[in-house]
Amino acid sequence: MAVAFVLDPPLTADLRASIIALWVEVTNAGGAVGFVAPVTAADVAPVAGDAFTAVEAGLDHLLLGVDDGEPVALLFVVSNRFGLKEHWRVLKRVMVTPQRQGRGYGAALMREAERVVRGMGLDAVQVTVRGGAGTEAFYERLGYREVGRLPGALRVGPGDDRDEIHMWLPLG
């Protein structure tokens, strides 16, 4: 594995375009990262733009995995923007390019995110999972546990409602 992680890299126009392309690629391969396939860069760009703005404002953080100079994995460490929840963060848009899945990049990304969040002095981290994708087992292997489930909260298509599963990792 040759992935290296960068926290809050400068969001140049090229990097933004690469991240949006990765997001499209992951979504269109079936990844549950906020959209349902098929999507285009035009679909993803507004959501990505909001995420980039929050990172640049210092509210959130971007953890980027790079292999051979190419973005191959990422997630956002997102503030709850609520005083009573400042002791924990949410990991959003956890993704690894399909071409590099199965090489341990996802687990490495999550371990690095845990290291980053611990370094921020936080007590816990949460990730939300789309039911039916089978990814909750991945997070469980990393120490997360299911703490809540909203039945049918995610409508991915007509007649296809999925549970929203909340996974929690205490850092104490």
pLDDT 10s digits, 148-167: 999 999 999 999 999 999 99
Domain that holds residue 105: 4-170
Q: Give the pLDDT score at 2.
A: 86
For residue 55 the two structure tokens come to 């990172």
Convert the pLDDT of each residue in 12-51 to its tens digit. 999 999 999 999 999 999 999 999 999 999 999 999 999 9
Convert the pLDDT of each residue in 87-129 to its tens digit. 999 999 999 999 999 999 999 999 999 999 999 999 999 999 9
The residue ranking higher by pLDDT, 2 or 149, is 149
Quote the number of domains for the chain: 1
**Model confidence, pTM:** 0.97
Question: Is residue 82 classed exposed, middle or buried when 0-12, 13-18 and 19+ CB atoms within 10 A define those classes?
Answer: exposed
pLDDT(172) > 90: no
The residue ranking higher by pLDDT, 118 or 134, is 118
Convert the pLDDT of each residue in 56-97 to its tens digit. 999 999 999 999 999 999 999 999 999 999 999 999 999 999
CATH number of the domain within which 15 lies: 3.40.630.30
Mapping DSSP onto H, E and C, the string for 29-92 reads CCCCCCCCCCCCHHHHHHHHHHHHHHHHCCCCEEEEEEECCEEEEEEEEECCCCHHHCCEEEEE
With cut-offs at 50, 70 and 90, classify the pLDDT of residue 1: low
